[in-house]
Every structure is written in C-alpha cells, then in structure tokens.
Structure 1
Amino acid sequence: MMSPGTRELVVASPPPPPIRYALMQIAAELDARFVRAGDALAAAIELSEQIVGGLDAVVSALDARDADAATDDLAEVAAAITALPAALTARGRRIATITDIAALLRAHVLDMHRSLRMLRAYGMNIKIAAAGEAKFVSFVEGMEDKIAAGEALLTEVIRALNALDAAVVGVQQADRRLAGDCAHAVPALPQRLLADARALGEHRSGSAQIAVRVSAIARAIQTKVLRLLHAMQIGDRTRQRLDHVVAALELLDARAYPPAARAHVERLLAAQLAQIVQDFERETGALIGNLQGLLPDVAALGALLADQAGEVDRGTLIRLDRSVSDADRIIVPLRAAQRQAEEMGRLIAATVGDLTARIDGLGAIRTDVQEIATNTRLLCRQHSDIGRAVAVVAQEVDLSASGLGTTATEVGRTIGELGSAQRLLGDDGAGIDGGARLGRALTTIRTAVTRTERLVRDGSEDARRLVALLETSAAELGSEFALGGPITQVQALLSERAEAAPVPAPADEGALRTLLPAIADLYTMASERDIHVDFLLPGMALIGHPAHDEDGLF
C-alpha cells in the first residue's frame, strides 16, 4: 500500500492467527478482572479494620488503669460522703466547746474591764481625798494612763471575740446546711456511687474480654486475608503460562513446519492449556472459598459489635454517666458548704492566733494594776495626814488589783484552751474532695459513651456494608473468574486441529528437535516442564533446567 504523501510502500502487519489472538485477549482480561477483585478485597479489608478499630477505641476508652482509677474515685467519694455526717457531728461538738470557751473568756475580759473602770473611779477619789496634793495628782494621772492602755487592749480583745462569735455562727450555719444536704444524700448517694463503681468494674471486665475476642477474630481475618492475597497470585501465574503458550505459537508460526511436527506441538500446547484451566479453576475456587470463609468472622465481629454497643451495654454507660452527673450536682452544694466552713475555720484560727498574741499584753495590765496598788500604799505612808484619808481608797485599789490579777491569769489560761480546741477543729475529718474525683470518673465514662455511640453509628453501618460486599464479591468473582471456558475452547480447537494431522514420522523429528527445546526455554514453572516432558521424543531430555522455578513466587 502507498502512503498518500510520500508515495512510499507501507506494509501493514498481519493480524495474529485466531488462536493466538484469543489467548492474548484472555491474558489481557486476566489483569483487569484481578484488579477488580483486588479492589473489592481491599475494600473488605478496610471495612473490617474500621470495625476492629472502633471496638479497640471503645475498649481503650476504659483501659485497666483509667477504669480502675475511675472505680477508685467513685468508691472514695462514696466513703467520704458516708463519713460526712459523723464528721459533722464531731465538728459540732468541737465548735460547741469553742463557743463555751469563748463565752467564758468574754466573761473574764468583761470582769477585767469593770475592774479597770473601778480603778479609774478610785483614782478620782484619791484626787479628792488628797485635796489636790501634787504628788497624788501626778500619781493618779500616771495611773489613768495605764488604765486607758489596758482598756484599749481589752476593747481589742472584745472585738476579736465578736469576730470569733460571728465566725462560729457562720460555721454552724454552713454545717447545718451541709447536714441538711447530707440527710437527703446519705445513704442513697454513696450507695449508688458504690454500685456505679461496681458496674464500671464489671463493664471494664466485659470490655477486656471483648478485647481478647476482637484480637482473636482480627488474627483469623488476617490469616484468611493472607490466603486470599496468595490466591490472587493465580492471575499472574496464569497470565505467564498463557504468555508462554502464545510465545510457543509464535515460534510455531514463524516457519512452515511439517504438518505432523506442527500437530505434535499443538497437542503439547493443548495439554498445557488443559492444565492451566485445571489449576486456574482449582485456585480461583479456593480464592472464592476463602472469601466466603470471611463471612463467619464478619458475623462474629457483628455480634461483638452488638454486644459492645447493644442497648444493655450502652444503657450501663449512660446510666453511669447520669448517676455520676447527679452525684456531681449534689456534691456541688456539699463542697460549697464545706468551703464556707473551711473559711470560717480559718477565721477562727486567725482570731485565736490574735488572742494568743495578746496574752502578754493582758499580763502587762495585771502588772500595772499591782504597781498602782503598791505605789498607792507607799504614798499613804509618806504623807501621814493626807495618807490617812487616802488609805481607805488605797485599800479598795489593792483589793481590785488582786482580783484583776486572778482574772488576768484565767484569761490567759482560757485563751490557751481556745487554741487547743481550734487545732482539734482542724482535724475533724469533715472534708470531701469529690469534685476532682468525680470529674475524672465522668471524663472516663463519657469518653467510653462517646466512642460507643460512634461505634453504634459507624460500626453497625460498616458491618452491614462489609457483609454485603463480601456476599456480592463472592458471587461476582465466580463470574469474573469464569475464564476456564474460553481457554478450554482454544484448547479444544488446538486438539481438534492436531487430531486431523498425521503422526510424526522420522522425517519430522528434525523440526521437533529444534522446536521443543526452544519452547522449553520459555518456561519458568515446574508444572509447565512436567507436561513438556511427556512430549519429548525418544532420547531427548530437558536442558538448562533452572535451579528455581517460579511456581511459588507469585
């Protein structure tokens, strides 16, 4: 044929003979069909991994450490709430002791205040009795300065006692509210928390068992997937063997060999094709069987999914969430009341500390009053005439000083008792640190709830898709791999054509001794050589047999 532009002669390549062309088409189809099968298998593997991953996520949300910590938190909060009423009762007794001591201290301080007022009045009487004598007037003025300092100190003590009374009232009010909340919460709340702790532990145990089963199923699926992948290699092996038959036909068509020699080779190639069909159908059957064998495993995964995300299991987690949330709402006012009590306790401690710091000052008042009494007597002796008039007043001053000294000693002792009572109040054990513990438990539970809900939503759909995919794939792969028929048709055509030819004569052996070794060089698999041996002429043997065949490499 001439090219229109160049007028050069262009020779078109002739199409391959029908048999060779048919085999080439079948080999090309193999790749496309096995790609489709591989895509379906990859999708199935991905879905199964998603399901297993979802189950693993639920199990990991309640791993042993977190679940045990949440269980311990719930149990400890329950124990603290259970112990709270008794602790509040004990604290009430200690606060009552503080109240009694504070009342006694107030009485002593008021006695000291009255004594100082009386001393101030006695000072005025001394001035009158001394008729303005300068020494007595100067003495009384110094006495009044010391009395004023003492009164100022006692006023500060009274102010501190008033603050203490207010703090005690605040603690008592807070404790009454706390006791009221406890009356509604105990014993129901701690009992429910303990039940929640047990339920969480049981749920964790069940989840751990599911994790073991998930792991076992995952391993089984992995094993079967490996078998599937190995079975998928039949496509590569079959395509190679078909390529070898096509190459042998090309050798046969390259020259005009005698009909008998040609028929002998065609019988050989027909035998190769028959074995290819047998091996292909056996191995694709195994592939489909293994694919169908995944269905029970997927069903087992679906059952686990139902167990893990079923209404009973989900209900357990949701009830735990609701119960612990309710407990958290109850503990909020308990904690608020406790914080108020703690603040009042700190105020009591500060007040007691302030009073303790003033003990030395109260002792100084006693010393000053005793000095006033002593100096009054000395002045009376030094001024006999005026002294006799003042002596009567001096005697009253001495009596007041003595009584004030006794009262000051009692005040110091009482403040010491108040300090001891306050320290005991700090050890009353009425604490409840439930907020942080319940928060940790809620976080653990809610993480499990969230992941379970996700598993219900996504995992169930994945399981349904996986079952449908495997069932559909198994049915479709049966038709996808139905290549045995076309290959058998080509094999029958070769056999039929070979049967019509004469049996090789000695004159044909030369051609066969050239063709058969050339064809043998095409082989890469032992199964091909095993068939080839049956068609060797007497005295012929396979030459250059590879040390390693490729039967198992694909």
Structure 2
Amino acid sequence: MALSAAAKQLSILGGNSVRHTVDRMEDARSRIEQRFLDGGGVLLSVLDILNKMIASLDNLTGSLDEGTAKATMGELNTTVAALSQLTAAEGERQVRFREISSTERVLRPHVSSMQETLRYLRTFAVTAKITGAGIDDFAGFAEEILQRIQEGAQQVNNFSDKLRDLGEGLAPVIVKGDAILLRYGQTVPKIVASLSTGVDQIRDQRRHLAERADKVRIIARGIQNKLASTLSAMQIGDITRQRVEHCQTSFEILEDYLATPQAASLTGEDRERLSAIIRQLVSLQLDQTRGDFDRDTRKIVETIESFREDLLEITQIQQSMMGEGDGQSTHALRELEQGVSEAREAVAEIDLVAQAASNLSRTTVGTVRDLLDGISLVQVVRGDIHYMALNTNLRCGKIGEAGKAINVVTAELRVFAGHLDEAAEKILAELHVLENAAQQLLNDPQALSDEENLDVRLERALARIRAVGDSMDADLKVMAEEGRAGVNAMNASLKRLDFHAELGAILSACADDIAVDPRQDLSAAGLDAALAAIGPQIAQIYTMASERELHAHVLGTELAPEEPVTPLSDDDLEDALF
C-alpha cells in the first residue's frame, strides 16, 4: 500500500493527528493480518493434534479388540477349568494308588504260598531223583523236573521282588499325594479366583476404555466442529484488514483529487468541508469496523475458551483411562498380568507334581504288566510239572514193583502242582484288579500334553496380556502427550487471539483520532462536483454491503443494486478453510 500520497497535504486533512492516524491504521492493518495468519496456523495445528488424538484412541481400543479379548479370556477360562478339576483329579489318583496298595497287600500271602509250594515241589523232586536213582528211565526225568521247579521258583521270586518294590514305592507316593492334595486345597482356589477375576478385569477394562474413548471422540469431534466454525469466523480478520485498507485508500483518493485541476476552483473553506466529510466517512467506517471486529473476535475468544475447557475434560478422561485420577495402577491389565505371573509360578510347581504322579502311574502300570507276564510263566512251569508228573505215573505203572516208590513221589508232585495253580489263579484275579486300577491312572482325563499343559496356556495368555498392556501404555502416553500439547496450544492461541484487548483498541484510537468535531460544518453545498468525482471512486473499493450502506448514508447517494450471491457449497467452504 503506497501511503505517501495520503500524507502530502496533511494540513488539508487535519495536520499531524491525521498523519498519526494513518500510521496507526497501517500498524493495525499489518498486525491484524499477521495475527490472524498466526492464529489460523495455531488452530490448524490444534486440529492436527485432535486428528492424531482420535487416531491414537483407535489404536488404543484396537489393542484390546474383541478377538484378542476373547482369545485371552478363552485361554484363562480353559486354564481355570483345568485348575478347578486338579484337586478332584488328584484325589481320584490317590484312590487308585490306595487301591493298588491294598491289592499288593492281598497278593503277598498268595505269593508266599506259591513260594512255599515250590519249596515242597523241590523237596519231592529231589526225593524222586533219589528214589529213582537205580532206574535209568527216571534219571533224566528228575533232572528235568528239578530244572522246571527251579525256573518256577526264580519266576515267583522275581514276581515277589517286583511286588515288594511296588508296595514300597506306593507308600511315599501316597504320603506325597496327601501333601499335594493339601497344597492344592491351599493354592488352586486362590489361583482360580485370581484368574476368574482376571477374566472379569479384561471385560471391565475393555468396557472402561471403550466408554471413555467414545467420550473423548465426542468431545474431540465437537472441538473439530468448533474449529471449523472458528476458522470461518476468523474471516473477520481479512474483512477488517480490507476495510482498513479501504479507509486508507479513501484518504488517498481524496488527496489525489485535491491535486487535480478540477479541484483548483475550490476555496480553502470548500477543501476543509470536503476533507471533513471524507474524514467523517472514514471515521464512521472505522467505528463500524471496530464494532464488527469486537463482536466477532469476542465470539472467537469465547469459542477458543471453550476449546480449552473441552481439552481439559479430555485430559481428565485420559487420566481416568490411565488410572491416575483415582490412585489406581496404570490400568487393570497390569494387575492381571501380575496375577497371571504369580499363577504361573504356582502352576509350574503343580505341573511338576502332576507330571511326577503321571510318571509314577506309568511305572505302576508297567510293573503290573510285568507281574502279569511273570505269573503267566509260573503257570506254564506249573503245567510242565503237572504233565511231567502225570507221564511219570503212567510209566511207573508199566514197570511194576520198582516204580511204586517213584509213583508215590510224583503223585505228590501233581498234588502240589495243583496247589501252585490255585495260588496262581488267585494271584491272577488280584492282578486284574491291579491292572484295572493302574489303567485308570493312565486314562486320567485331566492329563495334559506337553503342548497343552497349564503353564503353556498361561504363558500364551500372559504374552497376549503383556503385549496388549505395552501397546496400551504406549498409546495412552502418546494420547496424554497430545492432550497436553493441545492444551498448551490453546493457551498460546488465546494469548495471540485476544484481539479485543489489543487490536480493537488500535482501531478505536484510529476512529477517535479522525473523528470530526460535531460543531464543524459538514454541508455539501458547492461540493457536488467534488463528491461526484470522489464518491464513486471510493464506492468502487468496497467489498461489504455495510460499507456501501454507510457510504450512501454519509454522502447522500443511492445504493447500487446488489448482484445475486451464489451460495457456497460445503465442498467450497471446506476448500476455502482447509
């Protein structure tokens, strides 16, 4: 803006006061322009912060999405169900161990009877060997039957040793099992309660975050709408700048006219009245500009104040999301993470105990199978002895008197072989009871594979909880930082957009400086030609209807017809603002 012309004949325009006013107007125009540019930049930066805040909210709520929450809760519920049945399963295991121990005690006298029978059989076999020493046909028989009896004795002794080992092994297992049951009774309910509470915590945490995130989104979108209206209202800055320029240009047009040949016929009084009329016009234009400026900027500042209140509310909600508002931990997931970690320590011990019990169950089943195999061999030996003795009886009948003594001995062998069979049948019956009890140990429905044991399940759940917690911590931190940045930006913008206290005062001073003394003659008599030359030039620079109306009122001219206004679409407004 070239202002040198506006100061060429300051004596005509009112002296140094007008020079001062023109300088003030230029200062106001430049400061308004810069201040509104800066303010618009600040508001756009706040809009960017809000967009980031909403994005971080989406990340935050996405961290604990429905799929992750269901998978984690499912893992915990499955673990809780398995843990809840541990005590019952271990109690059932102890019943089986006691049943096996009881059967082992029932077997002992049968085994002792079998061992006693084998000793008698050996005695009779030796007697048969002595009795038939002179008979060639019986020499081989005696050696063979002794060998079979020895094999039978060895099998029974092995059977007895394994049975003894089984009994001795079960005693400490039963004692340890009782201790396990006691420990389960003290530990498992606490873990189950903790994990069950953890499932509720995940559900509550998800609802807690979703509710507060929705509140923040609603407030943030409300701020965005206010920002859009504020940015639109900030057109008052450009309007005010233009109107100040129009006032400056009005003085310039007057000055240019007074320097033309057409103004040479004007007297000094005419020039003074013409200048006073234009000063009155500019003063009224400035006063109206100041009023519009004060009104609109006051609304802007009030809206900006509400931004700060909204952002402070967002900050309070964020603090409640982080647990800072009520002294709680960062969020419930961290408590759950701690609870699951503690559960893992207890479960690791439980898993070791359960694995040891399972190993013992498998060992017991193996021992029972060995016993079954052993008693079968004893039965085979018994059959061999029986048939060998029967064959001997038949042969003794053929050889007459010499075979009578041997026949008596072999008859006893057959009798005691029958006793051996009776003992073996009793043992076999008890072994089937033993086998059934042992097999039920292996068929424990609560037994878990290595891939599905309790610790692995909890580890998976813990990994999910920890990952979600870390992600949520990061998102909450980002959101809190963005919230603080938004409040700080708002505080800064309030200071920079307080137009009413500063820029409005400059406009008021400009209007007051060039205000015309009410006593001064403002008649247009004899100035028709001058006003006809100056008025249209000034009217052409106006862009506001209110400027043209005021111009027509002061100069007494008619308003030109308004051109039809094409309303802006939402897209046009959005392009203009952003």
What is the TM-score normalised by the length of structure 2?
A: 0.72
Q: Label 1:184 to 1:549 Cα distance change in 2 as closer, same or farther (>3 A).
A: closer
- 1:395-406 equivalent positions in 2, closer than 5 A: 395-406=411-422
Q: Label 1:207 to 1:14 Cα distance change in 2 as closer, same or farther (>3 A).
A: closer
2:314 aligned residue: 301
Cα distance, 1:395 vs structure 2? 0.8
> Which of 484, 488, 503 is the equivalent residue of 2:504?
484
Note if contact 1:174-1:337 (Cα within 8 Å) is conserved in structure 2.
no
Cα separation, 2, equivalents of 1:314 and 1:68: 23
> Which of 213, 216, 220 is the equivalent residue of 2:215?
213
> Which of 515, 522, 525 is the equivalent residue of 2:537?
515
5+ residue gaps in structure 1?
A: 1-12
Name the SS of the counterpart of 1:220 in structure 2.
Answer: helix
Cα separation, 2, equivalents of 1:305 and 1:144: 93
Note if contact 2:549-2:559 (Cα within 8 Å) is conserved in structure 1.
no
Name the SS of the counterpart of 2:498 in structure 1.
Answer: helix
Q: Label 1:326 to 1:127 Cα distance change in 2 as closer, same or farther (>3 A).
A: same
CA deviation profile, 1:25-56 (whole Å, cap 9, x unmatched): 54443343234334544565677678778887
Cα separation, 2, equivalents of 1:539 and 1:201: 73
Note if contact 1:284-1:481 (Cα within 8 Å) is conserved in structure 2.
no
Name the SS of the counterpart of 1:288 in structure 2.
Answer: helix
Cα separation, 2, equivalents of 1:142 and 1:500: 160
Note if contact 1:157-1:355 (Cα within 8 Å) is conserved in structure 2.
yes
Which stretch shifts more, 94-103 or 134-143? Answer: 134-143
- Residue 296 of structure 2 is aligned to residue 283 of structure 1: yes
> Which of 282, 285, 305 is the equivalent residue of 1:292?
305
2:367 aligned residue: 351
CA deviation profile, 1:186-213 (whole Å, cap 9, x unmatched): 7666556666666666566555543443
> Which of 219, 231, 234 is the equivalent residue of 2:233?
231
Tell me the amino acid that sits aligned with residue 477 of structure 1. Answer: L
Q: Label 1:100 to 1:545 Cα distance change in 2 as closer, same or farther (>3 A).
A: closer
Cα separation, 2, equivalents of 1:166 and 1:243: 110
Note if contact 2:162-2:367 (Cα within 8 Å) is conserved in structure 1.
yes
5+ residue gaps in structure 2?
A: 8-20, 264-270
Note if contact 1:178-1:338 (Cα within 8 Å) is conserved in structure 2.
no
Cα separation, 1, equivalents of 2:247 and 2:568: 17
CA deviation profile, 1:309-340 (whole Å, cap 9, x unmatched): 23453399476666555554444433332221
Cα distance, 1:398 vs structure 2? 0.5
2:436 aligned residue: 420
Cα distance, 1:143 vs structure 2? 3.5
Cα separation, 1, equivalents of 2:85 and 2:300: 67
Q: Label 1:283 to 1:367 Cα distance change in 2 as closer, same or farther (>3 A).
A: farther
Tell me the amino acid that sits aligned with residue 343 of structure 1. Answer: N
Note if contact 1:88-1:430 (Cα within 8 Å) is conserved in structure 2.
no
- 1:371-386 equivalent positions in 2, closer than 5 A: 371-386=387-402
Cα distance, 1:236 vs structure 2? 4.2
Note if contact 2:298-2:500 (Cα within 8 Å) is conserved in structure 1.
no
Note if contact 2:133-2:139 (Cα within 8 Å) is conserved in structure 1.
no
Note if contact 2:77-2:196 (Cα within 8 Å) is conserved in structure 1.
yes
Cα distance, 1:344 vs structure 2? 1.2
- Residue 335 of structure 2 is aligned to residue 313 of structure 1: no
Cα separation, 2, equivalents of 1:528 and 1:148: 133
- 1:117-516 equivalent positions in 2, closer than 5 A: 117-131=119-133, 133-147=135-149, 149-151=151-153, 153-154=155-156, 157-158=159-160, 160-161=162-163, 164-165=166-167, 167-169=169-171, 171-182=173-184, 184-185=186-187, 206-239=208-241, 258=263, 273-307=286-320, 308-314=323-329, 317=332, 325-356=341-372, 361-426=377-442, 434-436=454-456, 439=459, 467=487, 470-471=490-491, 473-479=493-499, 482-489=502-509, 503=524, 505=527, 507-508=529-530, 511=533, 515=537
Cα separation, 1, equivalents of 2:382 and 2:457: 54
Cα separation, 2, equivalents of 1:544 and 1:479: 32
1:10 aligned residue: none
Cα separation, 2, equivalents of 1:549 and 1:492: 37
Which stretch shifts more, 72-81 or 96-105? Answer: 72-81
CA deviation profile, 1:228-265 (whole Å, cap 9, x unmatched): 33334443444455566667777777775657999888
Cα distance, 1:392 vs structure 2? 1.5
Cα separation, 1, equivalents of 2:242 and 2:47: 28
Which stretch shifts more, 207-216 or 429-438? Answer: 429-438
Cα separation, 2, equivalents of 1:530 and 1:431: 94
Q: Label 1:39 to 1:386 Cα distance change in 2 as closer, same or farther (>3 A).
A: farther
Q: Label 1:548 to 1:188 Cα distance change in 2 as closer, same or farther (>3 A).
A: closer
Cα separation, 2, equivalents of 1:316 and 1:203: 8
1:4 aligned residue: none
Tell me the amino acid that sits aligned with residue 424 of structure 1. Answer: Q
Cα separation, 2, equivalents of 1:154 and 1:345: 24
Cα distance, 1:375 vs structure 2? 2.0
Q: Label 1:149 to 1:465 Cα distance change in 2 as closer, same or farther (>3 A).
A: same
Q: Label 1:447 to 1:231 Cα distance change in 2 as closer, same or farther (>3 A).
A: farther
Name the SS of the counterpart of 2:497 in structure 1.
Answer: helix
Q: Label 1:534 to 1:277 Cα distance change in 2 as closer, same or farther (>3 A).
A: same
Cα separation, 2, equivalents of 1:98 and 1:423: 11
Q: Label 1:543 to 1:188 Cα distance change in 2 as closer, same or farther (>3 A).
A: closer
Tell me the amino acid that sits aligned with residue 362 of structure 2. Answer: R
Which stretch shifts more, 268-277 or 291-300? Answer: 268-277
Name the SS of the counterpart of 2:436 in structure 1.
Answer: helix
Name the SS of the counterpart of 1:310 in structure 2.
Answer: coil
CA deviation profile, 1:76-132 (whole Å, cap 9, x unmatched): 766766655554443322211111223334554454455445444443333322225
Q: Label 1:76 to 1:545 Cα distance change in 2 as closer, same or farther (>3 A).
A: closer
Cα separation, 2, equivalents of 1:494 and 1:226: 37
Tell me the amino acid that sits aligned with residue 179 of structure 1. Answer: L
Note if contact 2:126-2:146 (Cα within 8 Å) is conserved in structure 1.
no
Note if contact 1:309-1:452 (Cα within 8 Å) is conserved in structure 2.
no
- Residue 96 of structure 2 is aligned to residue 94 of structure 1: yes
Cα distance, 1:378 vs structure 2? 2.5
Which stretch shifts more, 74-83 or 293-302? Answer: 74-83
Which stretch shifts more, 338-347 or 234-243? Answer: 234-243
Cα separation, 2, equivalents of 1:146 and 1:500: 155
- 1:49-64 equivalent positions in 2, closer than 5 A: none
Note if contact 1:44-1:469 (Cα within 8 Å) is conserved in structure 2.
yes
CA deviation profile, 1:166-201 (whole Å, cap 9, x unmatched): 653453243133134235447666556666666666
Cα distance, 1:546 vs structure 2? 6.3
Which stretch shifts more, 295-304 or 334-343? Answer: 295-304
> Which of 38, 59, 62 is the equivalent residue of 1:36?
38
Name the SS of the counterpart of 1:309 in structure 2.
Answer: coil
Cα separation, 1, equivalents of 2:469 and 2:86: 31
Q: Label 1:366 to 1:265 Cα distance change in 2 as closer, same or farther (>3 A).
A: farther
Tell me the amino acid that sits aligned with residue 317 of structure 2. Answer: L
Note if contact 2:159-2:375 (Cα within 8 Å) is conserved in structure 1.
no
Tell me the amino acid that sits aligned with residue 419 of structure 1. Answer: E
Tell me the amino acid that sits aligned with residue 494 of structure 2. Answer: A
Q: Label 1:438 to 1:270 Cα distance change in 2 as closer, same or farther (>3 A).
A: same
